[in-house]
Amino acid sequence: MPKTAGVRGADEAAGTIAPDVAAKLLMVTPEWIRRLSKDGWIPKVERGRYRVVDVVQGYIRFLKDEARRSSKTASHSRLQDVRTRKEELAVAQAERELVPLAEAMTLVDEVAGAVVARVNAIPARVTRNIEQRSLLQREVDDALAEVADRIEKLRDAYRSGDQDSAPDEESQG
């Protein structure tokens, strides 16, 4: 038995430790040390024995690799979020919940053109009296000019992405 104690003492003197000592050193469990060894992070010197330097360096390599993986995972997650958002926007557009600004402005222009044509015809339909017709046409022109200004301001606000600067109805009248 003295020979066994001497061998063990020589191993410890040579810088080798058991899994339970390595676990205490790193503040992990002996099972975790074995797992790191099995995964190749910490090489065994012999059955159940590890060099102190190998334990510390292997654990540091493992932690650095985990940090790199976490960073890579976070980057991948952000990329996945962007892809998901892009797909959500595509679905919203397909379901006509999202309309391109140019398409919306074309619709506004077409509706406004139809309104202008109908409203401009009112004075001639209402009276044959030239003075009254002229008075009505000035009022129609003023109203249409106000509407056109409002549409232009809204168009500019939406194109710039600054809807907060868009005129509201209360400030218009």
H helix or E strand, kind and range, residue 50: strand 50-51
Is the pLDDT higher at 1 or at 63? 63
Domain hosting 136: range is: 99-172
Q: Is residue 128 part of a domain?
A: yes
Q: Is residue 75 part of a domain?
A: no
pLDDT score for 4 = 42
45-101 pLDDT tens trace: 988 899 999 999 999 999 988 877 887 777 888 888 899 999 998 898 888 888 888
For residue 123, is it within any domain? yes
Residue 57 belongs to a domain: yes
61 and 104, same domain (yes or no): no
Residue 130 within any structural domain of the chain: yes
> What 3-state class would DSSP assign to 82?
helix
What's the rounded Cα separation, in Å, for the pair 149 and 154? 9
Predicted TM-score (pTM) above 0.85: no
Q: Would 94 be classed as within a structural domain?
A: no
DSSP 1-48: -HHHHHHHHHHHHTTEE-HHHHHHHHTS-HHHHHHHHHTTSS--SBTT
Domain annotation covers residue 110 = yes
Q: Alpha helices of the chain — where are they, by DSSP H?
A: 2-13, 19-26, 30-38, 52-94, 101-120, 122-126, 130-160, 169-172
- Same domain for 164 and 104, yes or no, is yes
